[in-house]
Structure 1
Amino acid sequence: MNNEYPGYRLGLPAEGPGSIGGFGRRVLGLIVDWALATGASWLIAHEAGTTMPLITTAAFVVITSLGLVIFGSTPGHLVAGLHLRRVDGSPAGFWRPIVRQLLLAIVIPALVWDTDHRGGHDIIAQTVLRRR
């Protein structure tokens, strides 16, 4: 068996349900989530007469954190067929998704990846984004 695939060290399958979510799926999920946050921030900024970048980032963190805590997936993850779990396979719980999304919002941790294709935000939160 080839032990070079992402997720091998975590005991995950090479492909199919439960395997590491691929880059394309992650990007699709991020685009959907960012679009929702942009729409929400436009509504808020339009009413308040303020600027959007900070509101968009805050909306992104709130929308995605709520989705992860309640459903184990953000709206974008649902579209892309992904869900967030702890490394041991159990649900991510309450604090891990929030920490993960706050770290993702500052971008830099997400740019650092390990051999299992987990970004720094997942490494710190001890989570893994898996295929449904």
Structure 2
Amino acid sequence: MVDRKDVGSWLEGPSSRTGNTGEWPGQRLGLAPHGPGSIARFGRRLVGIIIDWVLALVIARGLFQVPLPFSEQPATGTQNFIVLGIFALMNVLLVGTLGTTIGHRAMGLQVRSVAGGRATLAQALVRTVLLCLAIPAVIWDRDGRGLHDKVPNTVIVRAR
């Protein structure tokens, strides 16, 4: 169950991340303070999602002639949904089977179930739906997990 005291956001600043000196993001989940197996930091996750989004754009361009950003002809609403659909399909399939997207893999990240092991296909589906809504991804808890990770009980960790 997610309640207000578990959820922080960028509005609350760094103090919402950890409560006491000596604590680190992921400690409550039994994760390492740094290195492989630790909570992935925001910068790595952001670069990973940008890589995945660019790949979705390239695939949409190749399959459906969707114009690239900053081209003379802007994309229509339908074309934008095509890109979002490709992004979502990539996330569900790759996270649900391999535990990582191409962007995550490039950044050395992996999506895992908090219970242990790779995220299941059902967890990947719930996570992807919430990620595509965007708002849950910008609201996170003290461990740096967005609502799109809290609801399906997943966590993004460093794989290397």
| TM-score normalised by the chain length of structure 1 | 0.92
**Residue 27 (structure 1) aligned with residue 46 (structure 2):** yes
Larger helix share, 1 or 2: 1
2:65 maps to which of 41, 46, 49: 46
Distance 1:86 1:68 in 2: 11
Contact kept, 8 Å, 1:72 with 1:85, in 2: the verdict is yes
**Residues 11 and 58 of structure 1: CA distance in aligned 2, closer, same or farther (over 3 Å):** same
Extract unaligned runs of 5+ from structure 2.
Answer: 1-20, 67-75
- Runs of 4+ aligned residues of structure 1 deviating over 3 Å after TM superposition are none
Q: 1:40 to 1:8 in 2, by over 3 A?
A: same
Give the distance between the partners of 1:94 and 1:65, measured in 2 at CA.
7
How many residue pairs are counted as aligned between the two chains?
Answer: 130
Contact 1:64–1:74 (Cα < 8 Å) also in 2: yes
SS at match of 2:62: helix
Q: Distance in 2 between matches of 1:51 and 1:97?
A: 24
Q: Find the partner of 1:75 among 102, 114, 118.
A: 102
Look at both structures and tell me which one has the larger radius of gyration over its CA atoms: 2
Question: How big is the alpha-carbon RMSD for the aligned residues of Structure 1 and Structure 2?
Answer: 1.7
Shift of the 67–110 alpha-carbon distance from structure 1 to 2, 3 Å rule, reads: same
Cα shift at 1:60: 0.3
1:89 pairs with 2:116: yes
Cα shift readout 1:80-109 (whole Å, capped 9, x = no counterpart): 000011112222111001110111001011
Match of 1:12 in 2: 31
**Matched position secondary structure for 1:19:** coil
Distance change (3 Å), C-alpha of 1:44 and 1:4:
same
Percent identity between matched residues is: 41
Residue 43 of structure 1 deviates from its aligned partner by 2.2
